[in-house]
Amino acid sequence: YAPVPSLASSGSDGFLQCLSAAMPKQLLYTQSSPSFTSVLTSSVWNHKFLAASTVRPFAIVRPTNASHVQAAVVCGSQNDVRIRVRSGGHDYEGLSYRSERPEVFAVLDLADLRSVSVDPKAATAWVESGATLGELYYAVSKASKLLAFPAGLCPTVGVGGHFSGGGFGMLVRKYGTAIDNVLDATLVDAKGRLLDKQAMGADVFWAIRGGGGGSFGVVLSWKVKLVPVPPTVTMFILPKSVDEGAIDILTKWQEVAPAFPEDLFINVVIAKQVAKFQSMYLGTCDALLPLMETRFPELGLNKTHCKEMTWIQSVPYIYLGTTATVEDILDRSTSASSSSKSTSDYVRQAITKDVWAQIFAWLAKPDGGVMIADPYGGKVSSFSESATPFPHRGGVLYNIQYMNFWPAATDGSAQTKWLKDLYAFMEPHVSQNPREAYVNYRDLDLGQNVVVGNLTSYKAAQVWGEKYYKDNFQRLAMAKGEVDPEDYFRNEQSIPPFVASK
Ligand code: FDA
């Protein structure tokens, strides 16, 4: 991490003094602390934000209990120092630890608030936001082989940011998103109060389940409902090249994947000239094969493709590679070895075969990236659009994530341009009015906040907000107005407090 000019204010001294009185000094890191850089970079997923020009915090606070978090918020608001909360640091735009514009801010890093306590009898768990998905899954599987939790694929993603935006993975068709399975939560609000579901009230509890991180306060922990899984699940990873009929198979996939029984999830990772079909089936290979033969014979699945295992074994298998072990999902280290840019779409009408042929031409370009298509339908689509802030429900066939990567030593301009151009090309083929996007695949090019008179402008935020939240955006802004009317928790894409005259 190359040094950048340090931003400081009188407030920053006051903040540190205030906090030193409230928590052990060794949990506070300033830019002059020898371990500041290693603490800051410990969970930076996107390498491009290690650049010298990145606006970084003047201090990092590593709370070990709730009162430290409360103190950080109180000291911050008293001294005019904003805090950004970091759980797993996987935000695509790095908003948990950097600012797009010059700003004096501190990072509240929740890495040491990561306990998971499972009640297998009740099939519930309390998980702290600083836990990773891998730590949550591991703890659940230790308590019971027949319970799981439906959330994302990558084990190093943090619970705090992931749940804040929705969170989906291979169980999404069977059990919905992570936030569809949240029963309670604890939140430190802008006044420093520690609130549970009842104390925060229905509007705020609704808002924190999918309304995006960094807007309503610091969510410390979540009570989740665990879901049943069978002793054996069947996985397969089946690549098909364009020469092997990938275009026809993908065209058919769009129709069958969102309509399969909920026990079957097949997504596609498309790069260069290959579509890689990846699947989890909640049952045995013998039960899966006849289903595939009737509904999707074009894929040509046979017994040799099936890998039967337990649900917890499927986690490393699908994300870390076929030789990884269950213990590997406990490794929290995020290797920020490459830089990336991502964005997303939702598809509500199947894309035609000739358009898929053009998409493969985009993917074949020298600086091309990857497209990941995740089918919905089933449970995730059964909720109303306003049940939670996550509005991508009935009628969505699948989500697309576009990603491009480049080596740390280069500036990524060619790869970023490829992504933007493909996104422009896709416009007529994806959801419209608004063109929906998934907040957890954060993209600042969709729009950024403007602050007017020390409050985030509602009007400016509508531009990106309605893409992420559709008609839920206004209700989110009203919840923000209730819990944080002075807009203490804000970033480039935080929810603005709704003020009727703005
Ligand atoms: P991070 O700590 O960076 O926080 C993200 C945002 O939430 C920031 O604005 C932050 O301030 C805020 N925040 C964090 N903790 C908070 C808290 N406790 N209270 C309030 N606000 C808080 N998604 C998905 O749905 N399915 C998937 O399979 C994947 N897979 C995946 C793989 C990889 C490699 C990456 C990088 C990302 C994904 N994602 C994903 C996207 C992921 O869900 C998204 O980036 C999450 O916001 C990451 O959460 P972290 O806590 O790691 O992020």
Whether 358 and 433 map to the same domain: the answer is yes
pLDDT of res. 335: 67
Residue 85 alpha carbon, nearest atom of ligand 1: 11
Percent of the chain with pLDDT over 90: 95
**Cβ count within 10 A of residue 294:** 8
Reported as a pLDDT band with limits 50, 70 and 90, residue 3 is: very low
Whether 270 and 409 map to the same domain: the answer is yes
Residue 125 belongs to a domain: yes
| Cis preceding-peptide flag for 231 (omega within 30 of 0) | no
Residue 94 belongs to a domain: yes
What residue's CA is closest to ligand 1, atom 43? Answer: 162
Whether 357 and 471 map to the same domain: the answer is no
Residue type present at position 257: A
| Per-residue pLDDT at 202 exceeds 70 | yes
Here the CATH number for the domain that contains residue 28 is 3.30.43.10
What are the tens digits of pLDDT across the range 147-175? 999 999 999 999 999 999 999 999 999 99
pLDDT of res. 409: 82
What are the tens digits of pLDDT across the range 8-43? 556 999 999 999 999 999 999 999 999 999 999 999
Mean pLDDT of the chain: 96
Domain end position, chosen among 205, 228, 251: 228
Domain total of the chain: 4
pLDDT of res. 323: 93
Reported as a pLDDT band with limits 50, 70 and 90, residue 128 is: very high
Check: CB of residue 184 under 8 Å from CB of residue 208.
no
Give the list of residues 6+ apart from residue 10 with CB closer than 8 angstroms, or none.
none
| Per-residue pLDDT at 463 exceeds 80 | yes
Residue 494 alpha carbon, nearest atom of ligand 1: 9
Domain end position, chosen among 111, 128, 148: 111
Whether 408 and 479 map to the same domain: the answer is no
Whether 360 and 298 map to the same domain: the answer is yes
Whether 291 and 424 map to the same domain: the answer is yes
pLDDT of res. 74: 97
Reported as a pLDDT band with limits 50, 70 and 90, residue 408 is: confident
Domain end position, chosen among 111, 130, 146: 111
pLDDT of res. 338: 87
What are the tens digits of pLDDT across the range 169-191? 999 999 999 999 999 999 999 99
Whether 161 and 60 map to the same domain: the answer is no
Residue 330 belongs to a domain: no
How far does residue 240's CA lie from ligand 1's centre (Å)?
Answer: 31
What average pLDDT does range 214-227 have in this prediction? 98
Residue scoring higher pLDDT (4 or 232): 232
Task: Find the domain containing 458 and state its range.
Answer: 452-502
> Given the structure tokens 């598809």, which residue do they identify?
347
Here the CATH number for the domain that contains residue 169 is 3.30.465.10
| Per-residue pLDDT at 141 exceeds 80 | yes
**What DSSP string runs through 129-198?**
TTSBHHHHHHHHHHH-TTEE----S-TTSBHHHHHHH----TTHHHH--GGGGEEEEEEE-TT--EE-HH
pLDDT of res. 10: 67
Residue 159 alpha carbon, nearest atom of ligand 1: 51
Q: How far is it, in rounded angstroms, from Cα 382 to Cα 85? A: 32
| Per-residue pLDDT at 413 exceeds 90 | yes
Check: CB of residue 344 under 8 Å from CB of residue 445.
no
What are the tens digits of pLDDT across the range 324-350? 999 999 999 886 678 999 999 999 999
Strands 338-347 and 82-86: unpaired
Whether 298 and 417 map to the same domain: the answer is yes
Whether 257 and 185 map to the same domain: the answer is no
Here the CATH number for the domain that contains residue 249 is 3.40.462.20
Query: Which of 388-416 are b and which e, b meaning 16 or more Cβ less than 10 Å from the residue's Cβ?
Result: bbbbbbeebbbbbbbbbbbeeeeebeebb
Residue 497 belongs to a domain: yes
How far does residue 46's CA lie from ligand 1's centre (Å)?
Answer: 12
Residues with CB under 6 A from ligand 1: 45, 84-92, 95-96, 110, 129, 152-154, 157-158, 160-162, 164-165, 167-169, 213-214, 218-219, 440, 491
| Per-residue pLDDT at 4 exceeds 50 | no
The phi-psi region of residue 176 (left if phi > 0; otherwise alpha if psi is between -120 and 50; otherwise beta) is left
Q: Taking the CA atoms of 271, 378, 437 and 211 in sequence, report the sign of the dihedral they define.
A: negative
Whether 275 and 400 map to the same domain: the answer is yes
Check: CB of residue 339 under 8 Å from CB of residue 48.
yes
Whether 68 and 142 map to the same domain: the answer is no
Whether 281 and 177 map to the same domain: the answer is no
Residue 31 belongs to a domain: yes
